[in-house]
Structure 1
Amino acid sequence: MAMPQVSACLIVKNEATNLQRCLASVQPVVDEIVVVDTGSTDDTVAIARQFTEKLYTLPWRDDFAAARNYSLDQASGEWILVLDADEVLVCLSDTSLREQLAAAPSVQAYQLLRREIGTGEQFSDFAIVRLFRNLPTLRYQGRFHEQLVSSGSAPITIGSLTTFRIDHYGYQPAQIQAKMRDRNIPILERIRASEGLSLSLLFALADMYNAVNNPSAAEDCFNELFERLFPHLLSGQLPPEVPGSLPEILHQLGRRLLAAEEHEALQLLCQQSLIWFPTYPPLNHLAGCWLMALGFPLGATAYFEYCLEMGRTNRYSKQMPFPLDYVGERAAQQLALAYQALQETERSRYYTELAQSLKS
């Protein structure tokens, strides 16, 4: 059986700090590496040349999908693995990637779990499509937070690849703020002015405004998000295009409603959100906190217990990363408070001790 060839594709700019680690991790796994530089002024290009001759330059035009697709056009492999410079490919098995791809001829794309590293807070792994066949019908779409889409008549056949994982190291806080302030926010505001923002991009913009200490601009974005989602909460119909970030969008909107004591709107949001996303722990935690605020600690315990159960069984949504203490310490702390309110001293003490053990 002929083994399929695999191309790794990256777009980079000023990634001298991260790039060598990334390329060293992927070099033993793939047949070629394609690097597209969009205007580096540091040693990024020199580092890339140590690993590949397929190095290209593309002027940056505020369009991540265009840069991604240009990199795909340079790939000769039958499969494409897409990575960012601040990521590392981790092999979890002795079986080669080529052997696994050859064993599943009907699959067009694979999800890999991505893990956040060195953030100071533990986050859940989440599934992301990064490995797919080199087909002209599979290309990226979206100037920001680009997504792989198919121009064919049939949906993409997606499998899960558990023998590899992507570790995401990210950037230092000062670097992140600079990228948001100088690049990302201006791009998103230009898109907003010209064509409007999708739910996911509007949420990303809100998050960035918070990160650069502009809470009023963030609040404007969250207000628009709620106005656009409220009709769907009333009807029970999901938006036509459901972004992967929708569970966390709803969670963040719910936290704001809880802080403002908007209980009627929060009841609607909690009920409908948990119909749509029943295994997203932060939404269960939100429902428990809402019942606690209303003075119903007994009802709240069911939601916090479910959070702990999802943590014990690892049966929670991998659609969106979230802080793991929602299925650990944070849930146990809330259970301790709930049982304290119910005057069940022994149970309260048990969950207090559990929270301490989960923290350590």
Structure 2
Amino acid sequence: MPNISLVMIVKDESNHLNTCLESVKEYVNEIIIVDTGSTDHTIEIAKTHGAAVYEYTWTNDFAAARNFALSKSTSDWNLILDADEQVTSWDKDKVNKLLQTDRFIGKINIKSNFKQNNEERYSQIYISRLLPKGAYYSGKIHEQVMSKLPRVELPIDVFHTGYFQTDKSERNLIILKEELSKNPKNAYILYQLARQYKTMNLYQEAAHFFKESYQTADRSEEYFTDLAVNYIYTLVELKQYYPAFEIIDQMNVPLGNSPDYQFVCGIFYMNFVLSDTAKNIDFLPLIERSYLICLALGNQNEREIVLGTGSFLAAYNLGVYYEMFNQKEKAKEFYEISAAYHYLPAKSRLLTL
């Protein structure tokens, strides 16, 4: 059996830590907790779970803190979690078999909830979090694992609540700007800075940094789809339709199989048509086309970033589209598809038809 240490950095996490540790205790052999200055009951909670606790002076550098924590591990493998995360599923047999056969960087599926259009929605992304001994981090914020080992997706699911419950925007901006001053052409830092501004609804600033990142990013990078999609969303918010058109024209082939990309295309065409209906009416069919492609991609199990872009969210938007043109039977058909996923807005629309 492979030995696995849970390795965490924490500060004032008494509201979350117990749930996190309870969710993972059966999968790990050792718990390493590095505390960066808690004033609540975080350390006491960690010790009740048998954790080895180390104090660390915070220096606004996540990678440095994580690497210090990793140095305290005695295991061959290290699982990295934050206190506001909890393991929801873990296929022990498959994971153990993989860990016994090779060295690699293990990616786990992290699902997060967030607010959009006054609704709670969910995103998912595979992130490198199960590391062999010797792997380390770089980057003061949104730190990345530095290793030439292959990345392998593992059957481990984690739920993250942090972005939904807390706002760490100002802290993140300070660190990101410091990193950017040292690496002004780093596409990943530019992308993270753009996302941070978008989260704060500062769309002009977000668009600036999305553009800088988009122009320099390697399109093979895992974050590129999210970069392009959020850049288009930002331009739509700013009603900058023609720059958005350019990106859509460039990305139709590279991102054509992404439900999230097709979904934002539907959002774009809807807003573009409504901005000047008489002038842009010829683009109306592209709204329907985009959402139908979303559903087709969902049926092919193409991976979503935001859950529902290949299923209930696309179906709901199609229902709205058909209802707008008084095609009530078609509207009902797609509202029913959406409602089958327990999407409440679709259920509400069905009651009115």
- Taking structure 2 as the reference length, what is the TM-score of the superposition? 0.81
User: CA offset at residue 278 of structure 1?
Assistant: 2.9
Contact 1:270 1:286 in 2 (8 A): no
Cα offset, 1:255, TM superposition: 2.6
Deviation at 1:259, TM superposition (A): 4.7
Render the CA deviation track for 1:119-144: whole Å, top value 9, x for unaligned: 76231432111112112xx2111110
Identity %: 26
Bigger shift: residues 139-148 or 250-259 = 250-259
Instruction: For residue 205 of structure 1, report the CA deviation from its aligned partner.
Output: 3.3
SS of alignment partner, residue 60 of structure 2: coil
Aligned-partner Cα distance in 2 for 1:349–1:98? 47
**CA shift at 1:50, angstroms?**
1.7
Residues in 1 aligned to 2:145 and 2:20: alpha-carbon distance in whole angstroms: 21
What secondary structure does 1:219 align onto? helix
In structure 1, what is the Cα distance between the partners aligned to 2:200 and 2:124? Answer: 26
Q: Is the 8 A contact 1:199 1:243 kept in 2?
A: no
* Equivalent residue runs for 1:330-341 within 5 Å: 330-339=313-322
- Cross-structure match for 2:24: 26
Q: Distance in 2 between matches of 1:242 and 1:189?
A: 25
Aligned to 1:180: 169
Q: What's the C-alpha RMSD, in Å, of the aligned pairs? A: 3.0
Partner of 2:350: none
Structure 2, unaligned runs of 5 or more:
274-279, 345-353
Q: Do the aligned residues in 1 keep the contact of 2:257 with 2:302 (CA within 8 Å)? A: yes
State which drifts further: 261-270 or 3-12. 261-270
* Equivalent residue for 1:72, pick from 70, 73, 85: 70
Partner of 1:278: 256
Distance 1:282 1:98, change over 3 A: closer
Whole-angstrom CA distance in 2 between matches of 1:279 and 1:245: 15
Within-5 A mapping of 1:1-360: 3-52=1-50, 54-93=52-91, 95=93, 97-102=95-100, 105-116=101-112, 121-135=120-134, 138-150=135-147, 155-162=148-155, 164-170=156-162, 173=165, 176-177=166-167, 179-181=168-170, 183-196=171-184, 198-212=186-200, 215=202, 218-230=203-215, 239-240=217-218, 244-292=222-270, 293=273, 294-295=280-281, 296-317=283-304, 321-322=305-306, 324-339=307-322, 346-358=329-341, 359-360=343-344
Aligned residues between the structures: 331
The corresponding residue for 1:235 is none
Q: Matched residue of 1:278: which SS?
A: coil
Letter in 2 for 1:187: I
- Partners of 1:171 and 1:299 in 2: CA distance: 33
User: Which string of whole-angstrom CA distances, capped at 9 and with x for unpartnered residues, describes residues 40-78 of structure 1?
Assistant: 111111111222352111111111011111111111111
Using a 3 Å threshold, how does the CA distance of structure 1 residues 142 and 297 change in structure 2: closer, same or farther? same
Question: Partner letter of residue 253 of structure 2?
Answer: I
The change in CA–CA distance for 1:263 and 1:190 in structure 2 (over 3 A counts) is closer
* Aligned counterparts of 2:310 and 2:293: Cα–Cα separation in 1: 8
Q: Deviation at 1:308? A: 1.6
Superposition deviation, residue 25 in structure 1: 2.1
Gapped regions of structure 1 (runs ≥ 5): 233-238
Equivalent AA in structure 1 for residue 302 of structure 2: R
Distance 2:214 2:97 in 1: 45
> How many angstroms does 1:227 deviate by?
4.3
CA separation of 1:140 and 1:259: change in aligned 2, threshold 3 A? closer
